[in-house]
Amino acid sequence: MTDSLNGTTRAGFSGVQISFHTQGHSHTVLSLTRALLFCLGVLTAVLSGAAVTTPAQAGKVLALVNDYPVTDFDVQQKQRLNRIIGGPRDRKGAFRAAVNEAVLLTEAKKLGIEVSDAKVDKAIEQMAANMGGKAKLKAVLRKNGVRLETLRRYVRSTILFRIFSARMGRTLKTTVDEKEVERRYRKILNDPRLKPVTIYKLREVLLPIDDPNPITRKQLTIARLAEAQQIMARYRGCGSLKKITSDIFNVRISPLIQADPRRMPKPIIKAIRKAGTKRMIGPLRAPNGVQLLAFCGTRKIVPPKPDKKVIRQMVQAEIINREVEKVMRQLRRKAYIEYKDPKLVLN
């Protein structure tokens, strides 16, 4: 079986081939998410891998699935894996995925259904090849605290899901309503958070007052205020700060601060506009000294427009997850599941 998406992602399960690629470093994790959602054709949100645990790692048992324990460790592993491939990171969603995986693995064992290690290895090798090699894959897993066995179980359970759904005569419906895609696109496009915003570029100059003695502290404050006035008189813009403070002891100049004026106090905004870029604001009394503020100009940030392809993938993923859950609900009903926490019971 082969699935394709906009000519960029392909996978087949005759030999269980998993293939994906990324488009730029900044989109690596998102690309992995989309690829696994559609390469595996199923269940990122429902079947992400949980780890095999030793007694020392297991922690609290949350449920027994056909006498197989689903633990806190399993849920944590699933949450960490989902940072890489996408899917639920919340505890309840990750718990659902861990239970679903345990159902697939234990029910398959009861029925004598096996997925060979060679088939799992081949799928993971294909994933690694598209990530830049096994070393890169292992590095990503290690960085996120995910065991390789967690990924192996994820791949194995995904293959098992296809086997079970085929036996049940279920075919995943993945047809996307383009009107829904357009509606989502327009909603995101009109989100105020995606409107262009003008950012204020600021730098803070602090003249610290470290003396705890009230009498000498007062004298030091007067001296620091005088030094602040001296800096203000010399100021010729943000580029001059280092030079004009070079002969003054203990001056701290902050890195460039990018502030959203929509979240700033109105008196500060008014003072900034009045001062412009050639005069400093202050001096101001701060808890730890005397403060000056330099306005270095503005920067306009225009968020990128939403990508309809990504939105279509999101909608398709939601459809897949609903279809997957229909199958998994039937399988859960056939399994013996003992929940240790009433709040975690799945329907």
CATH number of the domain within which 287 lies = 3.10.50.40
The full DSSP string for 91-133 is HHHHHHHHHHHHHHHHHHHHHT----HHHHHHHHHHHHHHHT-
- Residue 133 CB: number of other CB atoms within 10 A? 11
Q: Which of 308, 291, 298 is nearest to 273 (CA)?
A: 298
Is the Cβ–Cβ distance between 65 and 71 less than 8 Å? no
Which residue type sits at 4?
S
Q: Are residues 316 and 291 in the same domain?
A: no
Q: Which of 177-214 are b and which e, b meaning 16 or more Cβ less than 10 Å from the residue's Cβ?
A: eeeebeebbeebeeeeeeeeeebbbbbbbbbbbeeeee
Q: Are residues 39 and 131 in the same domain?
A: yes
**Residue found under tokens 């419906």:** 173
Q: Are residues 153 and 127 in the same domain?
A: yes
Domain that holds residue 107: 2-186+306-344
Q: Are residues 36 and 71 in the same domain?
A: yes
Q: Are residues 180 and 201 in the same domain?
A: no
The reply to whether 227 falls in a domain is yes
pLDDT tens, the chain, 347 aa long: 333 233 333 333 223 333 333 333 333 333 333 333 333 333 443 444 333 344 444 579 999 999 999 999 999 999 999 888 777 789 999 999 999 999 999 999 999 999 999 999 999 998 899 888 999 999 999 999 999 999 999 999 999 999 999 999 888 777 889 999 999 999 998 998 888 999 999 999 999 998 888 889 999 999 999 999 999 999 999 999 999 999 999 999 999 999 999 899 999 999 999 999 999 999 999 989 999 999 999 999 998 888 998 898 888 888 888 888 999 999 999 999 999 989 999 98
Q: Are residues 182 and 240 in the same domain?
A: no
Q: Are residues 144 and 261 in the same domain?
A: no
DSSP H helical segments within 168-280, as ranges?
178-189, 214-234, 241-244, 266-275
pTM for the whole thing? 0.55
Number of domains comprising the chain: 2
The reply to whether 191 falls in a domain is no
What's the rounded Cα separation, in Å, for the pair 105 and 50?
Answer: 11
What's the rounded Cα separation, in Å, for the pair 207 and 291?
Answer: 6
- CATH number, domain of 129, equals 1.10.4030.10
